[in-house]
A = this chain, B = another copy of it.
Amino acid sequence: MIAQNPVFIPGPTNIPEVIRRACDLPTIDHRSPFFASVLHPAIDGVRKVLKQSNGETYMIPGTGTGGWETAIANTLSPGDGILAARNGMFSHKWIDMCKRFGLDVTQIDVTWGEGLPVARYEEILRADKDGKIKAVLATHNETATGVVSDIAGVRKALDAAGHGALLLVDGVSSIGSMPFEFDEWRVDVAVTGSQKGFMLPAGLAIIGFSDKAVAASKTARLPRTYFSIDDMRKGYAANGYPYTPPVGLFNGLKLSTEMLLAEGLDNVFARHARIAGGIRAAVNAWGMKLCAVRPELYSNTVTAIRTPEGFDAGRVVAHAHKDYAMAFGAGLGDVAGKVFRIGHLGMMTDSMALSGIATVEMVMADLGLDITLGSGVAAAQAVYRKGVTEKRMAAE
């Protein structure tokens, strides 16, 4: 039996059939006008999703990790100061990259499950009188813990401190699924990847640079070629690319942004909020706790669920895979074995979410956890029915 269950990993997401087809092109000459007809609308679409009206936007064959490297390599020089908090596996990894590139990281360690410590940011920035800190890193949504942080707050901390550091934001698991305000938050570099809110296969890093970040690139001395935005800029200006682009992924990205904008970003965000709300209602019905420690930190794209003390959360993921052919996310790093994760971003319907909730209920019951079958489903159904009612009333 070939299972055709949806996946519940926090990326890559389930891919709509039309997007798969947009990506799966026959070979088309990337130096022909076709490429331009795809590239520029894709950029425009991404900018609308980012709500970015200033600066420049680039797509580079790679992943979010490549996006992080694009962000720092184009804006910073060896020895530059960085301020960053470590509140999950992905903030941890970006910090690690900065260190490898010879940057001087002021690292704030935070309990995993917490958000970015905005007040601490402000303190440290105020204390940085001679401006050694050139950039502040901020992970908008920690995929490892299901925690969304307050980027507007980080911006306020910078402003309150009167500090001119660049604001570099990892929006890998938020952009396209939760509100993101490039202009309003005065983000300097926003990083995401194709395989999350854009519902594409992995393979494209997507990076927005503010005017200020572009200006910084003129003097930044970290070495770069593959991830150089100067080369990208020249290529794009000539309707081309500095090397061979994955034309199909660009074509898919163009369609993806069209789909997101046609649905309406607010509707997309509301859908993610509703689906996440149903999943959190299920967790509550099971009597379990989230990894995220406070409601304002709850992510609408991924939910990390703590299993009882002494129970290896990895067993949920393994059993679901083996006996129900369904994929969930395991805990990573500090919370390995303590949480399992349900990804619910990108292409997802209420009915798909219910199949995931119903399946994980069976899995937990099979493993001896004290779960009433149907309880989480019922709680989520109540949320989803309400969503349908609201949609209908809105349409009337």
Contacts of A123 on B, CB cut-off 8 Å? none
Could you say how many copies of this chain the assembly holds?
4
Contacts of A31 on B, CB cut-off 8 Å? 9, 329-330
Per the bound structure, the CA–CA distance linking A29 and B375 in Å amounts to 27
Task: Known A2-B18, A61-B202, A244-B64; judge A222-B223 contact (CB<8 A).
Answer: yes
Per the bound structure, the CA–CA distance linking A13 and B244 in Å amounts to 12
Contacts of A227 on B, CB cut-off 8 Å? 226
Task: Known A7-B29, A101-B223; judge A381-B354 contact (CB<8 A).
Answer: no
Task: Known A66-B61, A248-B201, A271-B1; judge A324-B15 contact (CB<8 A).
Answer: no
Q: Which of A19-27, A42-50, A128-136 contacts B (4 or more CB under 8 A)?
A: A19-27
Task: Known A14-B27, A24-B24; judge A378-B374 contact (CB<8 A).
Answer: yes
Asked whether, in the complex, the Cβ of B377 is within 8 Å of the Cβ of A358, the reply is yes
Q: Which of A106-114, A153-161, A207-215, A383-391 contacts B (4 or more CB under 8 A)?
A: A383-391
Which range holds the interface residue count of chain A? 35 or more
Contacts of A350 on B, CB cut-off 8 Å? 324, 359, 362
Asked whether, in the complex, the Cβ of A382 is within 8 Å of the Cβ of B377, the reply is no
Task: Known A66-B61, A358-B351; judge A244-B381 contact (CB<8 A).
Answer: no
Per the bound structure, the CA–CA distance linking A196 and B278 in Å amounts to 34
Write the chain B residue with the least CB distance to A7.
B27
Contacts of A246 on B, CB cut-off 8 Å? 201-203
Counting chain B CB atoms within 10 Å of each CB, the highest count among A11, A25, A63 belongs to A63
Asked whether, in the complex, the Cβ of A382 is within 8 Å of the Cβ of B373, the reply is yes
Counting chain B CB atoms within 10 Å of each CB, the highest count among A68, A324, A350 belongs to A350
A172 CB to closest chain B CB (Å) equals 9
Per the bound structure, the CA–CA distance linking A329 and B262 in Å amounts to 30
In chain A, positions 342-365 with a C-beta closer than 8 Å to chain B are: 347, 349-352, 354-356, 358-359, 361-362, 365
A218 at the binding interface (Cβ < 8 Å): no
Counting chain B CB atoms within 10 Å of each CB, the highest count among A23, A27, A350 belongs to A27
Asked whether, in the complex, the Cβ of B225 is within 8 Å of the Cβ of A65, the reply is yes
Contacts of A351 on B, CB cut-off 8 Å? 3, 5, 324-326, 355-356, 358-359
Asked whether, in the complex, the Cβ of A29 is within 8 Å of the Cβ of B5, the reply is no
A97 at the binding interface (Cβ < 8 Å): yes
Per the bound structure, the CA–CA distance linking A96 and B12 in Å amounts to 35
Task: Known A12-B30, A17-B26, A27-B12; judge A359-B366 contact (CB<8 A).
Answer: no
Chain A residues packing against B (C-beta within 8 Å): 1-7, 9, 11-18, 20-21, 23-32, 61-66, 68-69, 96-97, 100-102, 193, 195, 201-203, 222-228, 242-249, 259, 263, 271, 321, 323-327, 329-330, 347, 349-352, 354-356, 358-359, 361-362, 365-366, 372-375, 377-379, 381-382, 384-385, 388-389, 391-392
Sorted from nearest, which 6 A-B pairs have the closest CB atoms? A374-B378, A355-B355, A29-B327, A374-B374, A354-B358, A65-B243
